[in-house]
Amino acid sequence: MCLAIPMRLLEHDGQSGIVEIGGARREVMLTLTPDARINDYLIVHAGYALEILDEDEAERTLALLREIEKYGS
């Protein structure tokens, strides 16, 4: 129920925009993420963007996971 997926913002029209994932597009409300910009990955739940995905943090987490892999092997 709290399923939310990262979708890329393609168009921005003030309160709403168009997001895309794997070729599928739909309208998204940007009421909760007024700072969203084109090409941001938004965490979309029930037609609303809940948050802007921080790509640098995603890379940092992946780097941390790679450290665990190195340590484990």
Partner 1 sequence: MKALSRFRDADTVHHIATEIRRLALDRPVRFMEVCGGHTAVIYRSALTDLLPEEVQLLSGPGCPVCVTGNDFIDQAVALAELPEITIATFGDLVRVPGSTRSLTDVRACGCDIQVFYSPMDALTWALKHPDRTVVFLGLGFETTACTLAATLAECVRSEIHNFRFLSSLKTMPPALRALLSSQKVAIDGFILPGHVITVTGLEVFQFIAREFSIPSVVSGFEPSDLMEALLMLCRQIKQDHAEVENQYRRVVRYTGNPQAQALIEKMFEPCDMQWRGFGAIPLSGLKLRPQFSCWDAENIPVEVEPTREHPGCRCGEVLCGIIHPSECTLFGSVCTPETPLGACMVSAEGACAAVYHFAPLSEKV
Interface residues with partner 1 (CB under 8 A) are 1-4, 6, 8, 29, 31-34, 41, 43, 45-48, 50-51, 53-55, 57-62, 64-66, 68-69, 71-73
Task: Provide, rounded to whole angstroms, the least separation between the CB of residue 59 and partner 1.
Answer: 6
CA distance 66 to 13: 39
Task: Provide, rounded to whole angstroms, the least separation between the CB of residue 37 and partner 1.
Answer: 15
CA distance 40 to 65: 24
DSSP 13-41: ETTEEEEEETTEEEEEE-TT-TT--TT-E
Task: Provide, rounded to whole angstroms, the least separation between the CB of residue 4 and partner 1.
Answer: 5
